[in-house]
A and B are shown apart, each in its own frame.
Chain A
C-alpha cells in the first residue's frame, strides 16, 4: 500500500503540474485573477504530493520492501539505517525523485513566500516551474520509475554501491540538487519576464534571494563532493576535471556571474538583457549536467545506470527547454527596454569585468568538457582533456579576475576612482608582497609561481578586509565608532567581503596542496616505518574485522614526530560480499589545516600491503574557502537593505559610503 500510494501521489503531482502549467497562463492572458491564483495552490499541493511520494520511497527502503525493483536493486537488509535512507538517492530513479521533490519544494516556496510579487509575474513563474516539473515527472514515470514492483519479491537486495555507503551521500547530492534546481527559479523568472515583455530593477530584487539560495547550496554541494572524492576514492585528489565535476562547475560559474550582474540590474537598472540571458544559461547548464551524467554519454561514479532511452528523453527535455527559452529570448530580448549606459571605471564596470571573466571561464570549461565528446561522436577518436588543458586556459582567466576582485567593492557606483581604490589597497598589496618574499626565502626550489599565487590570494583576502576597514573607518575613527558602524553596515557588504576572502582562502589551499604535497608509495609489512614530511609512520599490525554488511582489513599505524608518539591512524579496506566489490577507507590525521592521508592498496601474496601516504599542507583551506563563501552568501541573504545605486558626488565626505 505504501508503494502504490507513493506511486499514485507522483502521478497526481504530474496532473497538478500540468494544470499549474496551463491554467495560470490562460489566467494572465484573459486577466482573470482567480485563474492566476490557481498557480499558487497547485504548486503547494504538487509539493505535498511529491513529498508524500518521496517519503513513501524512504519508508520502502527503511522496511526493505524488496517487492519494489528499485529497493531490491539498491538496498540490502543488513545495511545500517542511515545508508538505507541515503540509498534512496544513491541510484538513478531515487535521485531523480529527489530532484523533482526539490523542484517542487522551490515552487512551493515561491507560492508560499511570493506575496511580494505581482500576481501576473507569480502566475508566469509558477507556470514555467510547472512546465519543468511536468517534463521531469513524465521522465521519471516513463523511463525511470522508482515504484515498479516485482510480483514475487526476492529475499535479499543487491546492496548499494559500496563507494556510496558513506555519510557523504547524505549531504552531497541533496546540497548539489538544491543548488542545481534552485537555479530553475531564476530561469522561471527570466522566462516569465520574457513572456510578460517587461523587466526592470524590481525584477532583480525579486529574483535575488532565490539565486543566492541556489548559489549557496551549489557552492557547498560542490565543496562537499570534492571533499568526499578526496577521502573516499583513495587517491587523495580533490578535483579531477572530470566531466561530471565540470558539469557542476559550469552552473556555478554562470550562477556567480548571474549574482553579480543581478546586483548591477538591481541598483542601476542596467545589464537587464544580459542578466536574463545568464539566468537562462545557468539553468541550461544545470540541465546539461543532468544530461551528461544520466544519459550514459559519460562513465563515472555518478553514472548509476545508463540507458539510451533515458538519454534520448533528457536530450529532448534539454532541447525543448534550452532551445525554447533561447528562441523566446531571441524574439523578445530586442523588445525589452535597454538599461542605461555607464562608465568603464565604476562598480558597474568592475562587475561587467567579473562577468566577462566568469563567462569566459565557463565557456572554457564547456569546451573542455564537450569537445572530447563531440570528437568521439564525429571521428571516433577518444581524447581526454584533463588538468593540463584546464590549468592552461582556466588559470590565466582566473588570475586577472583575482587581481580585480579587491578593486570591485572599493569602486563607487557610476563614477569610480581607480587610483583612490589602488591607494586604499596599498596595505593589502604590501601584505601580499611580504607573503611572497617570505615564501621565497623560506622554501627553496619548488614551483616559482606558487609564492606569487599565494601572494595573490593574500591580496584578495587583504582586499576584502580593506573594504570592511574602509567602510567602518577602522584605524581612522575611535574603535567604538568603528564597531557601531560595523554593526550598521549592510549585511550584503559583510557577505561580499566573506565570499571574496573565501576565494582567497581556497586559492591558498589549492596552491599549497598542489605545490608542497609530499607522498610515499610503497609496500609495507608490520613493523615497517615510512618517513614523510618529518613524520614517522610505523605499521603496527594488520587485522580483520566484520562490519554489518562488509568485512574489513584494518591497518594500524602509529604516527610519531621526532620520536614523540602523536596519534594512531587506521586506514582500512572494506570488502562488500553482496556486490563483490571493495572500497578503501582512507585514514586522515588533521593538524591545523594540514592533513596526513593514508590509503591502502592491494595485499601482495607475501603479506605486504601497498600503502599510499600523503602529507598535504593546508589542504583543508580548499574546503574552508567555499564554506566562507557560502557563509557570505547567507549573510547577504539575510540583508534586507536598500539596493539602489547612488551616484557618489566627487566631493563626498570621506567615511560616508555609497548606499548598498
Chain B
C-alpha cells in the first residue's frame, strides 16, 4: 500500500510541475533578449577602454558594429502578446491532469513488478530464512576449495549445490574438477553432462552429449546418461531413436525405480506427438528447481519429494556416504535441523562398521559446516 501511496505522491509532484507555470498569464520578468546581449557588449567596451585594454579607435569601430546589431535586434523583437489565453492554459492543464498519469501508469504496469518488495542482502542474511545456512555453507565450501583446489571431495559436495543454485557454468567447472581429483566415474560424467545441458538452457549440446556417451561407455546402465542421450536424440528430431533408448531403459528398470514416471512421460511425448518439439526439453529435477519462474510452493514440494525418495533409498542401502551427506544438506537447506540431526545419526549407524566410510562421512560433514 505504501508503494502506491509513494507512486501517487510522485505523480502529483509531476503534475504540479506542469501546472505551476500555467497559473500565471503574464510574461515572466526574467527574460533575456538579443538586445540585452548587445547592450551588455556595449557596456563592456566602455569598461575595456577604461582599463586600457582596447584603443579608442578600435572601441569606436566596435561600438558602431554592435550598435548596428542592436538596431537589427530591436527591429526583429517579436510583438508577442503579453497575456496567454485561458483556453490554451486550460487544455494544457487537462493534458497534465489526465494525460500524464495515463502515460505513466500505462507504461509502468506492463514493465514493473509492484508486488515485489526489496530484497537487500543484509536483510536476507538476518532473516531466519531457509536459504541462510545454505548460503553460508556454499560460501564456506567455496572458500575452502579456493585454498585447497585439489580437494576432490569438496568439489563433489559443491558441484550439485551450484547446479541447484542455477550457477551452471560454475557447476560445470566443479564437476570437471571433481573428475580430475576424484577419478572418472559414470555418475560424475553424467552429472557433468547434465550441468552442461542446463548451462545451455536445457539443450543437450554436442559437448554434453560427449559426456553422456562416455558415461554410458563406462556403465551401460547409467540411468541419467541414457535418459539425456534420449533427450539429445529427441532434440535432434530423431524421435524414434529417443523412444527406443527410453524403452530400453524402462525394460531394464526395476519396477519401483523413482525415475520411471519421468521416462514414461518423455516416451509418451515422443510417441504421442507426431512431430516432437525440440527446444522444449524436460530438465532433470535439479535444473527444474532452479528455474526462475517456478512457483515457490511447487518448488519446495518437488524438493521435498526428491528428499523423501533419497531418504527411502538410503534406508534400504546405507552404504552410500555421498547420499547421506546430500540428505543432511538437503534437510538443512529446508531449514529442518532436527531431521538433519536424525539423518546424521542414521548415517553414522549405517556406516559404523566401515572405518573408511565413517571417515569420509565425517570429512564431508566438516565441509558442510557441521561438527564431525
Contacts and interface: CB of A to CB of B under 8 A. Distances in A.
A19 B118 CA distance: 31
Contacts of B107: 11, 14-15, 141
Contacts of B83: 33
Contact of A155 (B21, B37, B165, B170): B165
A1 B41 contact: no
A483 interface: no
Interface in B207-253: none
A49 interface: yes
In the A-B complex, list the 6 residue pairs whose CB atoms are closest, starting with the nearest. A45-B17, A63-B120, A116-B32, A37-B21, A642-B44, A64-B121
Interface residues of B, number: 91
25 contacts: A4-B112, A11-B108, A19-B18, A19-B96, A19-B99, A33-B26, A33-B82, A34-B21, A34-B22, A40-B21, A41-B20, A44-B17, A49-B10, A64-B121, A115-B31, A119-B28, A120-B80, A147-B112, A149-B113, A151-B116, A155-B131, A155-B135, A580-B173, A656-B54, A657-B53
Contacts, number: 252
A66 interface: yes
A65 B52 CA distance: 64
Contacts of A652: 55, 57-58
A567 interface: no
Contact of A35 (B26, B88, B116): B88
A116 B7 contact: no
Contacts of A202: 34, 37-38, 69, 73
Interface in A186-225: 198, 200-202, 205-206
Contacts of A141: 107, 111
Contacts of A30: 85, 88
Interface in A267-283: 269
Nearest to A119: B31
Given A37-B21, A49-B14, A644 B65 contact: yes
Given A151-B292, A200-B73, A202-B34, 18 more contacts: A2-B118, A7-B112, A8-B104, A41-B20, A45-B18, A63-B118, A115-B30, A115-B32, A116-B32, A116-B37, A120-B80, A153-B119, A269-B69, A490-B53, A644-B62, A646-B61, A647-B58, A659-B48
Interface string B78-105: 1011111100110010011001100110
B280 to A, nearest CB: 22
Interface residues of A, number: 89
Q: Which of B26, B37, B122, B296 has the largest number of chain A CB atoms within 10 A?
A: B37
A246 to B, nearest CB: 34
Interface string B286-302: 00000011101000000
A4 B113 contact: yes
Nearest to A117: B32
B58 A8 contact: no
Given A12-B104, A151-B116, A35 B10 contact: no
A646 B54 contact: yes
B121 A66 contact: yes
A32 B81 CA distance: 8
Contacts of A522: none
A489 to B, nearest CB: 8
Contacts of B72: 200
Contacts of A149: 113, 116
Interface in A624-660: 641-649, 652-653, 656-659
Nearest to B120: A63
A63 to B, nearest CB: 3
A152 B72 CA distance: 68
Given A32-B84, A141-B111, A202-B34, A16 B14 contact: yes
A346 B33 CA distance: 30
A67 interface: yes
Interface string A141-161: 100010111111111100000
Interface of B: 2-3, 6-7, 10-11, 13-14, 17-18, 20-22, 24-28, 30-34, 36-38, 41, 44-45, 48, 51-55, 57-59, 61-62, 65-66, 69, 72-73, 76, 78, 80-85, 88-89, 92, 95-96, 99-100, 103-104, 107-108, 111-114, 116-122, 124, 131, 134-135, 138, 142, 146, 165-166, 169-170, 173, 292-294, 296
B contact patch SS: helix
A64 B118 CA distance: 10
A89 to B, nearest CB: 20
A9 interface: yes
Contacts of A63: 118, 120-122
A198 B76 contact: yes
A335 interface: no
A15 B100 CA distance: 6
A74 interface: no
B30 A646 contact: no
A642 B31 CA distance: 21
Nearest to A269: B69
Nearest to B58: A646
Contacts of A546: 146
B59 A646 contact: yes
Given A19-B96, A65-B119, A649 B57 contact: yes
Nearest to A145: B111
A7 B165 CA distance: 27
Contacts of A198: 76
B6 A5 contact: yes
A60 to B, nearest CB: 8
A114 B55 CA distance: 33
Contacts of A66: 119, 121
Interface string A37-70: 1101110110001001000000010011111000
B287 to A, nearest CB: 15
Contacts of B27: 33, 119
B58 A659 contact: yes
A42 B17 contact: yes
